[in-house]
């Protein structure tokens, strides 16, 4: 084994040293010392295994290698194993690539599902050659398949950015000649190690996609790859570190390495980059596995200390949106407690959340269905919000209002924001009141504003507060509009 020294990567100028992989199952784990703190429904620290291999056109031999890598990662305690792009095979011609493709329920994916179930481990099948629909004659899909520890396919993503290189008289390497371009970004998938954003290889050159995944709540972004030698030497590590730094996500990049056939070879250097931009694990030449620790407390602390997402000037250059993607589903239980000024709101009372806002039920509602929406970041005044927070807050208010109106059978809505104590704000945290309205719920419509201002004042021992059970039950009813379960 060879020692390698990494660069200075932390504010305390700590030096990270890591082993590089020589042979299968010989790699050492390399990780930075990470601060602890915070809680989540997933473990704060989880081990992942990132794989490197040299696929050929021999599907049977490739599958054997894949299963060995999965077994190796499992033995070392990984909760999730990441395999590279084209781990099923790399064809010697475009026609062979198309001919060897299988459906999603074909042998290759089925064998991987069995391995996931056998080892009780999640798998990222980084790039699988999937047969395209009959309408796409002589083409295939480059599909990233996520399999859970029960052997079920949790999500699939079809590569959206295709690598086309056509230099007249010199070289032509056009993925679009035989691959169908994917049509959308898949929202980050909740896994035991955090929310995983799916991408493939060439996608890494497009920061907009990474930002869209981060804004949808990703903790990790994956770039399983078969990077060419020249571009790998020039750009591989630089791009991966840039994507990690700008999104404050872990970046996980399994890789193909070495010579696949007489015409094609890959750069390798499978690696994991932490949210600070430090390479915390890396493979050297040859087939192998490296492991790294994903620390969500460390990630959340970095995001808190350097809240770049909240500092974005979307009023100047717009916001990156995943247009062909549904909103990323972030479980309200992703955090056990939500700070609301001096109040701590249990997650059971939160029925909807986004990357920047959350909605919760009221301990003393003025009307049935009186709910609240607040920013995740505690600020007192509207003027303190970044453009991104402001947009997210009112988009959340719009979304929640429609649901509350429907659920409580209202015909109208009152939406009120109190900015400062003179406006009736008793909790020093910017928030919006949402009240579903029905005919004659107040003798005079303006009475509602007096009720909002005074509904949580003058509490006594006789004051009728709703119990935690009552609030949790109402939250549960409202969650059904937003969550799968």
Please give the domain boundaries of the chain with CATH numbers for all domains. Answer: 3-305 (3.60.110.10), 332-479 (3.30.428.10)
The residue annotated as part of the active site, out of 219, 370, 405, 431, is 431
Question: Which helix (H) or strand (E) segment is 94 a member of?
Answer: helix 94-100
The answer to whether 431 is a known catalytic residue is yes
pLDDT at 17: 30
Q: Of 11-15, 104-108, 474-478, which range is least confident? A: 11-15
The residue annotated as part of the active site, out of 79, 85, 144, 269, is 85
Reported as a pLDDT band with limits 50, 70 and 90, residue 484 is low
The answer to whether 457 is a known catalytic residue is no
Q: Is 5 left (phi over 0), alpha (psi -120 to 50) or beta?
A: beta
Total-model pTM: 0.71
Mean pLDDT, to the nearest integer, of 288-314?
91
pLDDT at 12: 33
pLDDT at 387: 78
Q: What is the C-alpha separation between 359 and 296, in angstroms, rounded?
A: 23
pLDDT at 331: 81
pLDDT at 245: 98
The answer to whether 455 is a known catalytic residue is no
The residue annotated as part of the active site, out of 72, 87, 112, 201, is 201
DSSP state of 354: -
Question: For 229-263, how does the pLDDT look when each residue is reduced to its tens digit (9 = 90+)?
Answer: 999 999 999 999 999 999 999 999 999 999 999 98
Question: For 444-475, how does the pLDDT look when each residue is reduced to its tens digit (9 = 90+)?
Answer: 766 666 666 555 555 444 446 789 999 999 99
The answer to whether residue 3 scores a pLDDT higher than 60 is: no
Q: Which residue has the higher pLDDT, 169 or 7?
A: 169
User: Which residue has 């009728």 as its token pair?
Assistant: 464
Q: What is the C-alpha separation between 420 and 380, in angstroms, rounded?
A: 7
The answer to whether 68 is a known catalytic residue is no
User: Would you state the structure tokens that stand for residue 310, as one six-digit string?
Assistant: 């909240």
pLDDT at 310: 78
Mean pLDDT, to the nearest integer, of 361-370?
89
pLDDT at 378: 87
The residue annotated as part of the active site, out of 159, 219, 370, 455, is 159
Q: What is the C-alpha separation between 113 and 238, in angstroms, rounded?
A: 34
pLDDT at 67: 98
Question: For 105-146, how does the pLDDT look when each residue is reduced to its tens digit (9 = 90+)?
Answer: 999 999 999 999 999 999 999 999 999 988 887 899 999 999
Q: Of 156-160, 256-260, 366-370, which range is least confident? A: 366-370
């Amino acid at each position: 084994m060879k020692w390698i020294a990494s660069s200075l990567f932390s504010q305390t100028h700590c030096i990270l040293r890591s082993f590089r992989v020589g042979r299968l199952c010989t790699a050492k784990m390399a990780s930075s010392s990470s601060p602890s703190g915070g809680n989540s429904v997933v473990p704060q620290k989880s081990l992942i295994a990132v794989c490197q291999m040299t696929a050929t056109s021999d599907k049977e031999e490739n599958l054997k290698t894949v299963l060995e890598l999965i077994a190796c990662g499992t033995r070392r305690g990984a909760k999730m194993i990441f395999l590279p792009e084209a781990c099923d095979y790399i064809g010697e011609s475009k026609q062979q690539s198309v001919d060897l493709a299988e459906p999603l329920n074909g042998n290759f994916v089925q064998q991987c599902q069995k391995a996931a179930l056998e080892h009780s481990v999640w798998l990222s099948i980084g790039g699988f050659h999937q047969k395209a629909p009959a309408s796409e004659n002589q083409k295939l899909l480059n599909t990233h398949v996520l399999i859970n520890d029960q052997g079920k396919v949790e999500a699939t993503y079809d590569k959206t950015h295709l690598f086309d290189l056509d230099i007249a008289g010199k070289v032509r390497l056009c993925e679009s000649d035989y691959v169908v371009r994917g049509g959308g970004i898949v929202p980050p998938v909740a896994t035991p190690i955090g929310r995983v954003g799916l991408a493939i290889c060439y996608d890494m050159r497009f920061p907009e996609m990474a930002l869209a995944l981060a804004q949808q709540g990703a903790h990790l972004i994956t770039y399983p790859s078969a990077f060419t030698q020249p571009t790998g030497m020039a750009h591989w590590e630089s791009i991966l570190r840039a994507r990690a730094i700008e999104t404050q996500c872990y970046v996980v990049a399994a890789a193909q390495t070495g010579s696949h056939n007489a015409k094609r070879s890959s750069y390798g250097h499978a690696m994991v980059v932490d949210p600070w931009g430090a390479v915390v694990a890396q493979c050297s030449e040859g087939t192998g596995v490296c492991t790294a620790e994903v620390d969500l407390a460390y990630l959340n602390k970095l995001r808190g200390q350097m809240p770049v997402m909240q500092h974005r000037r979307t009023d100047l250059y717009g916001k990156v949106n995943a247009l062909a993607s549904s909103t990323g589903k972030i479980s309200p239980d992703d955090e056990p407690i939500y700070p609301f000024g001096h109040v701590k709101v249990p997650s059971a009372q939160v029925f909807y959340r986004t990357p920047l806002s959350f909605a919760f039920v009221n301990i003393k509602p003025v009307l049935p269905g009186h709910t609240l929406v607040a920013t995740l970041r505690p600020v007192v005044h509207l003027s303190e919000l970044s453009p991104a927070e402001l947009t997210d807050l009112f988009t959340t208010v719009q979304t929640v209002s429609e649901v509350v109106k429907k659920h409580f059978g209202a015909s109208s809505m009152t939406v009120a924001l109190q900015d400062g104590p003179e406006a009736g704000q008793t909790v020093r945290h910017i928030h919006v009141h949402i009240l579903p309205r029905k005919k004659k719920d107040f003798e005079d419509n303006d009475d509602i504003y007096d009720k909002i201002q005074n509904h949580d004042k003058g509490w006594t021992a006789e004051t009728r507060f709703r119990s935690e059970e009552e609030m949790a039950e109402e939250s549960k009813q409202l969650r059904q509009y937003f969550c799968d379960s």
